[in-house]
Amino acid sequence: MSGFTKVVPSVLLIIVLSAQNTFGYIDMGTGSYLVQLLIAGFLGVLLTMKTFFKSLIAKIMLKRPGNKSDKE
């Protein structure tokens, strides 16, 4: 495994003091929790942007001349 992929979880472990208590019959594993904690913020923002641009494009397409929905 490369140093790059090793460093990220190490840094995260320093920042994150603890893992969350979760319930369920399978063991999530602290590693799986940590990586979700690491990427959730970034991917959440990415999803918000993606949704925003998709709706923007959809609005632009609707406003195009000749669009049936626009005429209605």
Is 54 a binding residue for another protein by CB under 8 A? The answer is no
Residue-level length of the chain: 72
CB-based contacts of 35, cutoff 8 Å, min separation 6:
9
- Which CB atom, from 54 or from 63, has the smaller least distance to another protein? 54
Fill in the per-residue mask, 9 to 48: x = in contact with another protein (CB under 8 A), - = not in contact: xx-xx--xxxxxxxxxxx-xxxxxxxxxxxxxxxxxxxxx
- The CA–CA distances, whole Å, from 58 to 49, 53, 62, 70 equal 14, 8, 6, 12
Q: Which residues bind another protein (CB under 8 A)?
A: 1-2, 5-6, 8-10, 12-13, 16-26, 28-48, 50
